Structure 1
């Protein structure tokens, strides 16, 4: 719980800062069965980041990294919009897109778990080539679609926006599967020591493969959300740098990049911090050209406050301490 203290404080501070500049920031209204408000907008806009961060959390827990999630999201949006524009059913188009994301996840997992390539190099291949694949699918065009079923992925409502509900369902499913079964413990064991876990009978190769597939699927769903939000597929900009936001969300949430123990609750808080920070930047009028610098500064402060050495230094008492008093041995025969 101590790991989540600073991210929670940062999240609350950002909310209060928005309240200072926008007094109606916390207000919610129900219109035609749909819930609206700034807080709802933060959750809806942060849903793709949360999805990608959930997959990234499990990958990082196995001592890996996936830099290709932004390219995978772009490919998913490109496939779905291209199929819909050609007259295909929206469900078929989205299923095809997610099927391709499954193949991409299998490819990443194969490079890492079977061939033993370093994760940052293995996923960098798809990060570089994935944008080109998305450009080939869309033929360099921005594919626009006007499909109500596809638009509902991001813009639909069941009281809350459907994008929020999808991300929360995935979060609940991952939490249930990894915390109520042995899968979470096995993932952590692989992250702590893959060789020792293999010798103990854990199928570390299968687990590593599985988390990369899951991460690609999460990126694919996030890509569908982003394409649905703008009713178009933009291979150049869709999912651009979302891998950085996802990694930052995981790190802010307290999960170590060295693998092992992870926190899904921390990832949720981290994703909310990232999205609230983006909202705050526009609310307080930070110039667009300095937005990334402002975000980086806040993230660095939060990460420093979580650093073990810094927290240990802050807890260390100030000033000289009295030397310990040596015990005086009793004389023989003393009563």
Structure 2
């Protein structure tokens, strides 16, 4: 009788423990899993992005993004300092084939209320076929690319997890910090000047001491074929000006960040007032970079000093 009572008591304790375990498992199952936290990446001054990693992927020191070595899969994010329109135009079958990439599809999609493009590719690496997805968003200054790569044999759930991660992209842009994005040059300092405008291929500055708005400095770049530096310099300094309103004063050898350049000075008449222009021009491989200041004639001496100081902080990228 004592043994029977002891057996019944033990069974009761065991059943109670089972009930407690089942209840705890039921509660845990009912609770939502912790949301995957997005990882932030600072790609450049004024350009930050965030992505949520797929489960099982880890950060890597090799690039901004995530990897899963056992599945030979990776996701990386980077900025290309080329306008979005220009970058997309370059992703055609011919250009991609030169990089051993096969274009499968290119479509427009919406990510976080922004119009982006999804480009699907295939590539053979060491005998293995890989699928690639490029999610591309951007503006006139640059493009952000999320590039995912995984074996063609990857199962559906793996593909979906990567696609979900790629489309979790969020971008934070501060244009005031992107003054030199997409330009082949930068200024390490901007003494005595204030940048007033940024165009696609140039910046415009004004001296801090000028309240009239009559003085300016423009730094720009572009392309010009079948010419040499001297006629190009004359063309650029006299652009938009009648021949009788401009007087070329001198052409002299100069340097721009240790690169050979041509410094041209001139007077130009604008609305009855005479201005002094100084232009520093480099020209190589059909590409030019131009620095041009224009100030009232009376201010030319101090303007030249300020320009020389500014150009001491000029650097090609």
TM-score norm. by structure 2 comes to 0.21
TM-score norm. by structure 1 comes to 0.20
Q: RCO greater where, 1 or 2, for CA within 8 Å and sep 6 or more?
A: 1
